[in-house]
Structure 1
Amino acid sequence: MKIKRRDFLKLTAAAGATAALTGCGTADMNALKAAGSTKNIGEAPGQWLPTTCQGCTTWCPVEVFVQDGRAVKVRGNRYSKQNDGNVCPRGHLSLQQLYDPDRIKLPMKRTNPKKGRNEDPMFVPISWDEALNTIADKMMELRTNSEPEKFCLMRGRYTYHRDVIYDVLPKVFGSPNNISHSSTCAEAEKFGSYYTEGYWDYRDYDIDNARYILIWGCDPVASNRMVPAAIKRLGNALDRATVAAVDPRLTTSAAKAQEWLPLQPGTDGALALGIAHVILTDGGWDRDFVGDFKDGFNRFKPGAMVDEADFVEKETYGLVKWWNLAVKDMTAAKAAEISGVPAEQIIRVARGLAAAAPNVCVWMGPGAAMHARGGYSGMAVHALGGLVGGIDNVGGSLQTAKIPVNKLDGDILKKHQDELAKKHTKKEKIDQRGRLELPTINKGKSGGGVSTNNAPNGIINKDPYEIKMLVGYMNNFVFSSNGTDRWEKALSMVPFTVHLTTHASEFSMFSDILLPCAISKYERHGFLKTKANRYATCTIQQPVVQPIWQVIEDETEFPFLIAEKLKERGFSNLHDCLVEMYADPETGAAPKTAQELSLNALKYYTKPLWDGKKDTHGDTINGWNEMLSRGMWNSEPYAYKSHWGGKFSTETKKFEFYSETLKKALTAHAERHKVDVDTVMEKVNYTARGEMAFVPHHEPPLRHGSEAEYPLLFIDYKSRLNREGRSQNAPWYYEFKHVDPGDVGGQDTLRLHPTDATQLGIKDGDRVRITSMGGSGEAVARVWEGVRPGTVSKSYGQGHWAYGRTAASDFAKGTARGINNNTIIPWELERLSGSNARNGGHAAVRVEKI
């Protein structure tokens, strides 16, 4: 039996009905109805159960109200000091994900051997046994042929149970190819903080004590990484502090701010240096953090070189070098010319920052750095926090308190690697990280990061080798990475692909086996680490409702089930490793089932937080049962100035305006390839040469498309309703889309400034076609003053041609609903970090009325 796409969703509905008849659950998929009850929601007895939301990377501790075995309501966890018991709209939208009638409900097998965007997979239902046997056979074939490196594991979103599937499985099997999604999010942003502060992570921000909040390239009350905290605190901050927002579009935060700086996309570095120039020439830097001239006389004059010997630094390094190399000539007037932000506003903001120092929060987001040449922009923006003493300080940007959880036991893993695995896990990865033209220098190591969006190039070119088998989980790179055509071509070439998924997404349409998976937050185990408001938190996920269908937990149950099948075929290493590593930490009993392994893993990793043996410098939790009932642990408040006094993780142990840390990393990468640093800079598409490569500076944006043919610049942004692209089959998403400034419910809206609309003869509500060098599509015009002239903006999330009957215009025909932003944004990388370049104006477009 071959099932065409037009019948696929009918089949899943039938499977739901069958499940109900066989006692496996209910086929009633109304998210607002309590099944089997005559009472309305809230009237019947129920219970609040703790878990974790994964609608964005805030990873909020939450509680779910369960009535008659059905999840009906969500709120923040009452114990949380991270979100104060609050949750944003994404937390509520997840109910429609859980009770979505279009979920995958049973294993499916592809019967059409041809793969492509326009090829119908003709999936048929199969048993779990057939699915797992097929996968195990394919894996054993690779080992039999001594080519385990041709197995690739691709990870999307995750919990920290990722170790089981992402590390243990491929490394014991013998493949180096565990490819994460990380560089599609913010690795270039982390680049900016690491090569100044020595911190490769997202920062926390002390909103409660800030006197000036400069939001740069993000929208904290709508997206980013502490959304409920920002929503609760922004109002109070506006009464106490100045709030300014740097973004080409009027974000939710900018709409509330006292200052909006709508810069030209990709000119963040110039604007940051222009602000720094004013602060330095005015003498407005923070002397307690930065230091001062020996005689107290300010020698920072526009265009004038300064003798390094005249300045004595305290907690910083290389200020004068930075001034001489990059800042001295970047006056407010020059920065205005490049960025389009008026010089008087640059001066006003700079002086406001200096007046509020050191209680200054420079809030850097991906818009500041996820450019083709954005690494140095990220450094420049973060350097402003250093100038005014807002690094690791009251009212500024903070690192995080430690979360003392257990780590993967590397010794056990190595014990179960045979010689084939040890040898082949050392082979080059398919994303080609660490090559001359792709340094991906995570934490100073050449090739130490990941370049997710370069993986399709490696697959297409079979360089360094062919990928014969691919397993993806909680991912949809065909949709979520710019240059979607490359992913479609790459996945069409992989002979055998398995997708562990909740919905039949675009990635699924290129797969050979689909395995139905549990919804995070509601049906699975896991734990998450996050931070906000000076508190680090560890929160758990647990099944708060029983799955309606026989779904599995991707990170833990899938590896165990496959390990059992591999053991039947004579390769027991993976099974033996898992049962040894994840014995029950309370009883010592080895897991006998996949479900036992999931629970054991959760207990193992979080054990230091609940076993009472050591002071965790946070909440005291008395035993596993209390951890399960509370659902989370809070740290002590982060101690201000924890890294002052020579404790920053940089080469100089100080905050670096001249980055010896980056100099060491680039030099090592150059020596690895027997070239000089200037050659590296040429190969990675940067213009800097000489010592300019070691300081924050402005790089001209890398534009794809001539200004004559593509006169406008495309701005991608994330909606406050986007559950990372996973809420697009939820009707509530479209109904409430107007909560985003300038957006309209029920349509895919492209915002244009009135001056551009008039010139193009476009009126509000017209249907338009947007075209770039990457692709084209149709949207509805929204004429709005909240975008910078010369730019157009659109929310990421729509444009699905699969995923479900609501997400797609016509699931059966594979017709998209709206435009996927990643089809419009041409493929490009920020090569120093390996990041996907999705901001910075490299996507030039034209817009035409249809």
Structure 2
Amino acid sequence: MKNKFFTSAKEGSSQEPPLYWSPKGAGQAEPGEKWVPTYCLQCNSGLDPIRVHLNKEGTADKVEGNPNFAGMHPNDGKCCFKAMGLIEKLYNPNRIKGPMKRTNPKKGASEDPGWKEIGWDEALDIVASKLKEIRKKGMRDETGQLRVAVAMASDGIGPAFNGTWNAFFGALGPVDGSLRQGSGVKCAHCEHVYGELWHASFVCFDDTPFVKLLINFGRGINTSTGTQGYRRYADARSRGARFIQVEPHLSVSGAKSDEWIPIKPKTDGPFMFAMIHTILYEIQKLDLPFLKQRTNAPYLVRLDNGYYLEDPDTHKPMVWDSVVNEAKFFDSPIQDFALEGQYEVYGIETKPAFQLFKEEMEKYTPEWASEICDVDASTIRRLAMEWIETAHIGSTMEIDGEILPYRPVCINLGKDVNNGLGAYQAEWASHMLSVLVGGLEVVGGHMSPGARLLEALERAPETGPRVPDSYGFAKRTFAPTDKEHWKWPPSLRTGVYSLNPLSSWMGAYHLAWKAIVDPPEGWPRPSIPDVYITHRANPALSQFNLETVRKVLEKIPFHVAFAYTFDETSHYANLLLPEATDLESLQLFRMGGPNFVKRGNEPYQGFHIRQPVVTPLNTMDMTDIFTELAARIGILDSYNEGINRTMLMDPGTKKPSPYSLELGRKYRVEEIVDAQCKTVTRGKFGLDWFKENGGYFEPYPRLETYHYREMVKNGLRYELPYQGRLKRIGDELKERLREHHLKFWDKQMEEYKGIPDCYDFSKDFETGAEYDMWLICSRAGQFAWATNAMLPMTSEISEHVMGLPQVQINTDRAAEKGIRHGDKVLVTSPWGEIEAEAFCRQGIRPDCLVVTQFFGHWMTPFAKDRPWPNMNEIEPNDIWMTDATGSSSDHVKVRISKKR
């Protein structure tokens, strides 16, 4: 252990790793004062250890990164601005300080809910009575839909604040997560689905400590990766890494890059397809061993139906051995794999997948892409050449005594590039550019940061999902598309199992709202849920086409909102339950090591406590709320079993730990977290220790970051370039939709091909000549989406960010339209109109407008008085802008005019 400030626990056995922690805890304060360790996880870039200062009166008056974790945690003892706002959040006078019941049965944006404060016993009895009644009726209604729907914060942060949520709903019975906020559809949705399909990756990132060329297509690495990301990217630039930002406006990340390329919106796929063409047909330098041994490039594909050629007996894919000139199983001893040519096998004409890929890429020239992207063809060629030159094909690097491939190039895709129309093509192309140089899951290259977090943390003896299927790809399950097992009618309001077979849960969440109001032809209208439960979610502000969302919220008979303050969604609720907030509640959560987003190459991981720093108001910890509800409903045994199964499994044996909860007994949150503390430290430390020290680390092998090792060990291949399974699934799904006369999904079905087609996706957004401007959105690092928009401190700081509260427009284009800096303007689409203040600037394409999402509050205290625009008010919630995975993007064609 190099950091002299950390202490190691003696190991209980030779198989247990040492645990490290700071003996200083949160640090010493002045007499009568105190530093309390806790954590911040308001966005996906955490968890960050922080400390809160209590003065002599016991008032929290300061938040900062915990300096005693420097040198261990990736944030290096720092925190960002959002953590500092927790003090203002704690003492916000507009907080809901006790349970409240709606007295006005009418729901609507203009209706006064008539909130009346009630006691906790009454509030919990109301909720328990409703849920008990539903369990008696059955969790599904007469139409087959689930009676209870839930929406929580982003999947990356919600679990860090919702306590025993999973255990409670697991005990209650199945619930529907279809009626979500923007999370799950406006996020990196398409990347989640295809990243998981290709290399078990939830979000794809660069290997920052070793990358030398990073091309960001819209990825805001300087506004969305947190303190640890900002530090590591700064370090990368200091050692000479080159960053290129490709996006329509000069963002904060673009300003800190070596080059900004102002591409036309929704044309990222054509740009990358042209790079692939340039590499294949002009540069002609590839990592052939990687293509032959780690991908499906040599797999023979039937020319009659586009499926892999399979051996009739074993169903294994076939390849062509070019030395002995015969077909063999893909996993047979092969002297040399053929990547090109045409071969007859079993009387069937075939070509290697690489041959089909190369033929398809021939038409995507830089000149073709230049006309679409509005980027010079020479720029595309230059980037392709720089990509190949920087990739160091054939190079290796030693990591902890093991030799691994070294390919220091990566492409990151941002939100709205990796979702919606054209996202599949952009995802496939960015992965293929890495595949061509052997840069997937290797040092310096294209990574899957969180693919193995759970297994690594629990020291799984097996490789889990990384064992091969009969095709040689990582084994996984798809929703059935055969006639016997296909889900019809849809079992969830998203229709995920019926329309999106690649995913087990990520469907078209925005269309769930729309289908309730206006279902597509032939699609059964989903029922309104009997009960809707929301936690740190505000779909009435963050979904597409907000009018549709409000119509649904008005119809829900019983809505429970775990509420911090009044907001646009809780305005429609029947009951408000004020949770003990960030600095008032107790939870243990993972930190360090890899995660589902920007993590990896950090040699330590562990757990950290979030604890009350002051006495809570008349609020309750989420865990205590769920425990009380479980007892009242009569599901306490199942609930305790769920806690044992999800939180109290021994990390070594995977069996119930000695600290498991007894059945039939209610436990306070302190008892549950104490058991969890003892479980994860194998009995060394309990809750009192964590409250004093904050958290601990244990070694995380750096080699575990690079999944290439497992690919080689287990004989696995990436299903790239050819999408054989996708093609077969698509053909079956087309038949099911045809049998039920469902035509609304025809455009999405075009994505189910072996090699994706690419075209000018920007044309799909055209809505008439008068709508001559693109409206796109950006992100501010000061905001956790808009969950801290009610804090004056956040607003004050953010107003110093150029153009944040306004709509940004190119200065010259503004002059053409008679608009000056500071003018009030109207931004109009076929679906609505918003008012904003113009911010004229250079560094933005003349055909683009930019707003920062998501604001436009009309109920949230303080935020409602800030006249900041929200493009959701004028975006459609429609099928035509949705891709096959169910994702959509924040793009809409508009006109802008000076307000008269």
Please give the TM-score of this superposition, normalised by the length of structure 1. 0.79
Equivalents in 2 of 1:691, 1:206: separation in Å?
30
Which moved further from structure 2: 183-192 or 471-480? 183-192
Task: Find out whether 1:499 has 2:556 as its counterpart.
Answer: no
Change (3 A) 1:369 1:459: same
Aligned residue in 2 for 1:155: 152
Q: Distance in 2 between matches of 1:696 and 1:633?
A: 47
CA change 1:126–1:834 in 2 (3 A) is farther
Between the aligned partners of 2:770 and 2:821, the Cα distance in structure 1 is 23
2:127 aligned partner: 135
Q: Is 1:518 matched with 2:572? A: no
Q: Do 2:621 and 2:669's aligned partners in 1 also have CA atoms closer than 8 Å? A: no
Question: Structure 2 CA distance, aligned partners of 1:220 and 1:265?
Answer: 19
Matched-pair contact (CA < 8 Å) for 2:494–2:512: yes
Question: What residue number does 2:873 align with?
Answer: 823
Partner AA of 1:642 in structure 2: H
Q: Which residue of 2 aligns with 1:75?
A: 65
Instruction: Give the conservation status (yes or no) of the 8 Å contact 2:737–2:743.
Output: no
Query: Which residue pairs with 1:549 in the alignment?
Result: 617
Task: Return the alpha-carbon distance in structure 2 between the equivalents of residues 63 and 393 of structure 1.
Answer: 33
1:392 aligns with 2:433: no
Work out the CA distance in 2 between the residues paired with 1:736 and 1:820: 19
- 1:610–1:624 Cα contact (<8 Å) kept: no
Query: 2: distance between equivalents of 1:192 and 1:229?
Result: 24
Match of 1:600 among 669, 672, 677: 672
Q: Which amino acid aligns with 1:441?
A: L
Deviations 1:554-599 (A, max 9, x none): 3x233212112223xxx66655645776789555554898772465
Tell me how far apart the structure 2 counterparts of residues 649 and 752 of structure 1 sit (CA, whole Å): 53
Shift in alpha-carbon separation, 1:427–1:671, aligned structure 2, 3 A: closer
Distance of 2:231 and 2:886 partners within structure 1: 29
The secondary structure found in structure 2 opposite 1:656 is coil
What per-residue deviation string (whole Å, max 9, x for no partner) do you get for residues 593-630 of structure 1? Answer: 877246525744x6664117xxxxxxxx8676655524
Structure 1 residues 198 and 61 mapped into 2: Cα distance closer, same or farther (>3 Å)? same
CA contact (8 A) 1:705 1:773 kept: no
Report the Cα offset of residue 234 of structure 1: 2.5
Q: Which moved more, 1:682-691 or 1:53-62?
A: 682-691
Give 1:335-414 correspondences, 5 Å limit. 335-357=369-391, 358-400=407-449, 401-403=452-454, 404=456
Pairing of 1:744-755 with structure 2 (within 5 A): 748-755=805-812
Q: Identify if the C-alpha distance between structure 1 residues 207 and 573 changes in structure 2 by more than 3 Å, giving closer, same or farther.
A: closer
Where in structure 2 are the equivalents of 1:16-55 lying within 5 Å?
46-55=33-42
Amino acid at match of 1:481: Q
1:205–1:361 CA contact under 8 A, matched in 2: yes
Secondary structure (helix, strand or coil) at the match of 2:708 reads: coil
> What are the residue-to-residue correspondences of 1:203-214 with 2, within 5 Å?
203-214=204-215
| Match of residue 660 from structure 1 | 724
Structure 1 stretches lacking a partner, 5+ long: 1-40, 293-306, 408-424, 613-620, 810-815
Tell me, in whole angstroms, the C-alpha distance in 2 between the residues paired with 1:469 and 1:706. Answer: 38
Q: 1: distance between equivalents of 2:617 and 2:223?
A: 33
Give the aligned length: 739
**Aligned-partner SS, 1:527:** strand
Give 3-state SS (helix, strand or coil) of 2:87's partner. helix
Contact 1:451 1:835 in 2 (8 A): yes
Cα distance in structure 2, aligned partners of 1:459 and 1:248:
35
1:244 Cα offset (Å) = 0.3
Q: 2:888 aligns with which of 837, 841, 846?
A: 837
Q: 1:369 to 1:561 in 2, by over 3 A?
A: same
Distance in 2 separating the partners of 1:504 and 1:838: 28
Query: Counterparts in 2 of 1:805-824, with a 5 A limit?
Result: 806-809=862-865, 817-824=867-874
Counterpart code for 1:219: G
Do 2:222 and 2:253's aligned partners in 1 also have CA atoms closer than 8 Å?
Answer: yes
Partner residue, 1:251: 251
Q: Residue 674 of structure 2 contacts residue 687 of structure 2 at CA under 8 Å; is this kept in 1?
A: no
Could you tell me whether the CA contact under 8 Å between 1:360 and 1:385 is conserved in 2?
Answer: yes
Go from structure 1 to structure 2 and tell me whether the alpha carbon gap of 1:313 and 1:648 turns closer, same or farther (over 3 Å shift). farther
Distance 2:96 2:458 in 1: 34
**3-state DSSP of counterpart to 2:762:** coil
User: Which AA in structure 2 matches 1:656?
Assistant: L
CA distance in 2, matches of 1:207, 1:272: 21
Which amino acid counterpart does residue 837 of structure 1 have in structure 2?
S
2:629 aligned residue: 562
Amino acid corresponding to residue 643 of structure 1 in structure 2: Y
* TM-score, scaled relative to structure 2: 0.75
1:468, distance to aligned residue in structure 2 (A): 1.4
In the alignment, is residue 540 of structure 1 matched against residue 540 of structure 2?
A: no
- Separation of aligned partners in 1, 2:107 and 2:448: 46
Contact 1:798 1:819 in 2 (8 A): yes
- C-alpha separation between the residues in 2 aligned to 1:665 and 1:521? 48
The amino acid across from 1:545 in the alignment is: V
User: Which of the numbers 40, 44, 56 marks the counterpart of 1:57?
Assistant: 44
Label 1:689 to 1:228 Cα distance change in 2 as closer, same or farther (>3 A).
closer
1:450-471 superposed Cα distances (whole Å, 9 cap, x missing partner): 4332332344468343311111
**What is the aligned partner in structure 2 of residue 410 from structure 1?**
none
Kindly report the root-mean-square deviation, in angstroms, between the aligned alpha carbons of the 2 structures: 3.6
Inter-partner Cα distance in structure 1 for 2:665 and 2:843:
55
Aligned ranges 1:182-331 → 2 under 5 Å:
182-195=184-197, 197-223=198-224, 225=225, 227-234=227-234, 236-237=236-237, 239-280=239-280, 281-287=282-288, 289-290=290-291, 312=337, 318-325=353-360, 327-331=361-365
Tell me: CA distance 1:50–1:94, structure 2 relative to 1, closer, same or farther (3 Å): same
For the 8 Å contact 2:514–2:877, the answer to whether it is kept is no
After superposition, what is the alpha-carbon deviation per residue over 1:202-235, rounded to whole angstroms, capped at 9, x for unaligned? 2343222111111122111111x45532344335
User: Hey, what does 2:701 align to over in structure 1?
Assistant: 636
Post-superposition offset of 1:97: 1.9
Equivalents in 1 of 2:714, 2:764: separation in Å? 35
Greater alpha carbon shift after TM alignment, 456-465 vs 574-583:
574-583
Aligned residue for 1:562, secondary structure, equals helix
Distance (whole Å) between structure 2 residues aligned to residue 163 and residue 731 of structure 1: 25
The alpha-carbon deviation at position 191 of structure 1 amounts to 2.9
